[in-house]
Amino acid sequence: MTKKKPHILFLFSDTGGGHRAAADAITEALALEFDDALTTEMVDFLKDYAPPPYNQLPRFYPEMVKLPELWGVGYKISDGRPQARLVTSTLWPYVRNAARRLVREHPADLLVSVHPVGNSFFLKALGKNRPPFITVVTDMVTTHALWYDQRADLIIVPTRIAFERAVEYHMAPEKIFIAGQPISERHSRPELDKVALREKFGWPSDKFTILLVGGGDGMGPLAETARAIDESGLDVNQVIVTGRNARLKDYLETLSWENPTFLYGFTTDMPEFMRAANAIVTKAGPGTIAEALVAGLPVILYAKLPGQEDGNVTFVESAGVGVWAPDPLKVVRTLTRWICRADEREQVVENCRSAARPQSSRIIARLIASRLGLIDHDSVLEGIGQA
Ligand code: UDP
């Protein structure tokens, strides 16, 4: 009789594009490392299971974060262990049935959560005799207390600071591993060089190329920033990715541009776009930052979500991989420096390469496999930072 393959359930939601991208990247790494020795599935638990109005969160997330001050206040007052407990116990009566239905309808040998909301509910719904539950934290530095539930079997974090924060929230240090932000293998395997890639996409191949992106949902003042670059007199290509923000793309299409400007909605070509570019102007999303590091792409952060993305700004500046520029003028000034002072830009590229963690998803895949008994746990520890 053939033995049933272990089945892994990924819990994510499309609040932004980063959680799905992380689950996709780990799924890809599991397939690369272990072929078809296991099976996987992904569930958007907010959209498909949460009771109203919580099931509308993925739809309204881009709208909510248009009020950054309010978002920041909400983030701050809900962050902290007692607050997280209060939120969880208050909401439990409303979400209990949905959480139980989800775990009943998606039986798995191991669960991986890549989202802060829901961890405690799933652990409660699974009860005592449950399969292993792993949380992969996809915020870099300022990680919210909701990520950390002591009942989780393993917490995988992207940075040392996130590790320390997990300990602060009473997670047992031996359960925490630092593996880096999970990103797709496609980011580390460029098939063409910059010039060939630009030719492939129909962009002038000899110009300094700026990639502008506002996360999966095209958030922040992307239009104002692109206009300021275009009007600055810099001789550049602009590649603007609006993600799922169709209204922004429609608006940008009505404008006329002095420089070659290429507009895209949600693209699956991000790894190649990053390789083809010379600099990225982006919202401070952790996924995009980690991917840019692997591509050796200097980063200009034009916006952030207060609270959860504050630490990403500190991370970028202290690693010398980019600049916080919340004002379009500062974006233009930084680009001008990097274009005029090649040595300075080269140093930033170097810093990106040193800070990059291209193996993150593979390490996470191996940690998962070791919990399933597919490989020896000790062999995974090589290359992993753990205090
Ligand atoms: N992304 C993509 N195509 C797009 C826009 C974004 O694949 O058109 C990906 C991007 O490469 C990254 C993720 O979406 O992996 C965005 O995650 P991040 O953490 O940067 O920001 P979020 O959208 O979660 O706020």
**Which amino acid appears at position 17 of this protein?**
G
CATH number among 3.40.50.300, 3.40.50.2300, 3.40.50.2000, 1.10.260.40, domain 186-355: 3.40.50.2000
Place of tokens 């895209």: 264
pLDDT along the chain (387 residues), means of 10: 87 94 98 95 96 85 74 83 89 95 98 96 96 96 92 96 93 95 92 93 98 94 97 98 96 98 97 97 96 97 90 96 97 98 97 96 96 86 57
Predicted local distance difference test score (pLDDT) of residue 387? 40
Query: How far away, in angstroms, is 285 Cα from ligand 1 center?
Result: 7
Host H or E run for residue 149: none
Residue nearest to atom 10 of ligand 1 (CA): 288
The reply to whether domains 7-181+358-383 and 186-355 share a CATH topology is yes
- Residue 106 CA to residue 191 CA, distance in Å, equals 37
Best residue among 270, 302, 361 to mutate for probing ligand 1's pocket (most ligand atoms within 8 Å of CB) is: 270
- Residue 311 CA to residue 304 CA, distance in Å, equals 10
Predicted local distance difference test score (pLDDT) of residue 189? 85
Highest CATH level, class, for 7-181+358-383: alpha beta
Predicted local distance difference test score (pLDDT) of residue 145? 92
Domain boundary assignment for the chain? 7-181+358-383, 186-355
Measure Cα distances from 258 to 205, 235, 253, 261 in Å.
17, 9, 13, 8
Ligand 1 pocket by C-beta < 6 Å: which residues? 16-18, 21, 213, 215-217, 241, 243, 266-267, 270, 285-288, 291
Best residue among 288, 293, 305, 360 to mutate for probing ligand 1's pocket (most ligand atoms within 8 Å of CB) is: 288
Query: How far away, in angstroms, is 21 Cα from ligand 1 center?
Result: 7
Predicted local distance difference test score (pLDDT) of residue 61? 78
